[in-house]
Amino acid sequence: MRFKRDSIVTPLPSIELIEEHEAFWRLTLPESFKEFMKNYNGVKVEGATFECNNRGYAIERFLCVIDDVEKHLEGMYDMDVVFSQIGDRLTDHEDLVGAEMLPIACVFAGDFICLDFRNNRINPSVCVWSHEESGEFSPVAFEVAEDFDGFLELLRK
């Protein structure tokens, strides 16, 4: 996996901006993911492929956190923007406030890599969310790694 450094979305998010988003999502991101965002916000990647559920996946780019999405060219890759577009397909709880699955990267063909907080609010697993198989309040996801660090290690192989 190789990062395209010229694709990193700037300005890089501050810890305060990340914490604002955490409050909105009503969850706490893993420290390793926060550090990743503070260094590689929205980065495009090459060679970031993996197998899951008998399918091959290629990551197009990681999502970003932007202070003002309407004024930024990469606004459509903001985590809040993506979450607002597909949020009702990321949970099976119609009255949920916050997030259970949080998109962090887009893969080719419309699926997303997500942090999955459904079974562990402290240390979420990483999954592939299937846009074709998921419906409103009926998400379909396949676990890729036990945590974000394990996911990055998988991509480095």
Per-residue pLDDT of the chain (157 residues; tens, 9 = 90+): 899 999 999 999 999 999 999 999 999 999 999 999 999 999 999 989 999 989 999 999 999 999 988 888 898 999 999 998 988 888 887 777 768 999 999 998 889 999 999 999 899 999 999 988 898 888 889 999 999 999 999 997 7
Has this prediction a pTM greater than 0.85? yes
pLDDT at 43: 97
Number of folded domains that form the chain? 1
Contact 117, 100 (CB under 8 A): yes
Please report, for the domain that includes residue 93, its CATH number.
3.40.1580.10
pLDDT at 17: 96
| Three-class secondary structure assignment of the chain | CEEEHHHCCCCCCCHHHHHHHHHHHCCCCCHHHHHHHHHHCCCEEECCEEEECCEEEEEEEECECCCCHHHCCCHHHEHHHHHHHHHHHCCCCCCCCCCCEEEEEEECCCCEEEEECCCCCCCCEEEEECCCCCECCECCEEEEECCHHHHHHHHHC
- What residues make up the domain containing 120? 2-156
